[in-house]
Structures are given as C-alpha cells and as structure tokens.
Amino acid sequence: MGRPVLTDEQIHAFRARATDAAMRLFVRDGYGGFSIRALAKELGCSHATPYRYFEGKDELFAAVRAEGFRRFTAFLRARLEGVAEHDARLRALAHGYFDFARREPEAFAITFEMSQPSEGWAFVDEAAAEGWGVLHEVVGGAAAAGVLEGEVNTLAHTMWAGIHGVATLHVAGKLRMGRTGEEVVAHMIDALIRAHAPAGQETKR
C-alpha cells in the first residue's frame, strides 16, 4: 500500500526528456552555461526533482554523452544506408563523421570532450561501443573485400583517429589558412585508403 513506485518506463521517460532538454540547453547556453536548475525550469519541475532520476550532475552529463553517442551512431548508419561499395562506404563514413561534428558541434563536443568523467557509467561505454561497432564493421568489410590491407583493428583505429582529428580541430576552430574541414577530411580519407591499398593496386594520386 502507499503511493506507487515509479515504473521503469516512467523513469526512462523522464530521463529521455531530461537528456533531450539538456542537449537543447547546451546548444542554447553553451557547455559551461548549463545548470541543473535551468533544466528543471525547462522541464517544468522543481530544481530538486532531477535528483530522483539522476545521481547528480555527473550522471546527467554521462546520460547526455550516451545519448550523443546514440545520435552519432544513428547519423552514421543513415549515411551508410544504401551505399554498397566498400570504398564509397569508407568515404561516406568519414564525411558523415565530419558532418555530424559540423552540424551539431555541441553534441559532438559533449560526446567526445576529453577530461569529462565517463568512467563509472557503463551505459556510456555501451553507447560508445556501438559507434565503434559501425566503424569497425565498415573498415572490416573493406579489409575483407581486399580494398584495405592490414590488421583490421589497427586499420580501424587509424581511420578513426584520422577522421576524429579533423572533426575535433574543426570544432575547436583550429583549422586555418582557408582550409575547410571538408577538404581536409576528404584528403585524409583519401590518403589513408591509398596508404593501405593492396600492393600493386595503388590508386591514382
């Protein structure tokens, strides 16, 4: 007897609504300008209510990061939809990765920001692992088909780091001398594919 305990659905619904609104507030007020009280106002509840659904600000941030990873993964999957050829899939992945960073820089920053406590919340790692899965699958497919040569794990890490570097520098506003991120990412994926092309099958520069 007594008031009913919150169902898992209710908890999930609130958390989803909260992470969604938080993402919006990040975009509106910037990363540092975010406050849990502003979020509560946005949600139409008291400033202490979120504490029933999240351990605290850190877990809320972690939830936002996880959601960011999910959107990121979905975005990449959508870009790969219908692209069959392995070379084209690699390029679609690279440009999709970069476009996500360009079109939703806040979401990208929140998701991949260094020095952000993601440890201790498994759901963040899970969401991140799915994104990594897409990458690994595309690179693995290309390697299996002979488009790329080398150990798949190393290949995937290298591709990832290369693309991620361009996206990161772009979001941080560090690209200079009139170089746009699109140009650099195109050149990057080109170079990495070329570097790992099977011997005797080098593509033209």
DSSP string, 100-130: HHHH-HHHHHHHH-SS---TT-HHHHHHHHH
Cβ atoms within 10 A of the Cβ of 81, count? 8
Binding site for DNA (CB under 7 A): 1-6, 34-38, 45-49, 51-52, 56-58
From the list its own copies, DNA, none, which binds 96 (C-beta under 5 to 8 Å, kind-based)? Answer: none
Looking at 30, 56, 120, 133, which residue binds its own copies (CB under 8 A)?
Answer: 30
Sole residue written with tokens 């975010």:
34
Choose between 14 and 34: whose C-beta lies nearer to its own copies.
Answer: 34
* SS3 label, residue 16: helix
Count of residues in contact with its own copies, rule CB under 8 A:
51
Would you say 124 or 185 has its CB closer to DNA?
Answer: 124
What residues contact 23, with CB distance under 8 A and at least 6 apart? 64, 67, 68, 106, 107, 110
The answer to whether 88 touches 134, Cβ cutoff 8 Å, is no
3-state secondary structure of 91: helix
Question: Can you tell me which of 128, 138, 139, 147 binds its own copies, judged by CB under 8 A?
Answer: 128
Residue 48 contact partner, candidates DNA, its own copies, none, CB within 5 to 8 A by sort of partner: DNA
Please provide the DSSP assignment of 142-182 as one string: HHHTTSS-S-HHHHHHHHHHHHHHHHHHHHTT---TT--HH
Sole window of 39-47, 72-80, 108-116, 137-145 interacting with its own copies (rule: CB under 8 A): 108-116
Applying CB under 8 A, the span of 3-11, 76-84, 88-96, 116-124 interacting with its own copies comes to 116-124
Chain residues in the site for its own copies (CB under 8 A):
30-31, 105-106, 108-110, 112-116, 118-119, 128, 132, 149, 153-154, 157-158, 160-166, 168-169, 171-177, 179, 183-184, 187-188, 190-192, 194-196, 199, 202, 205
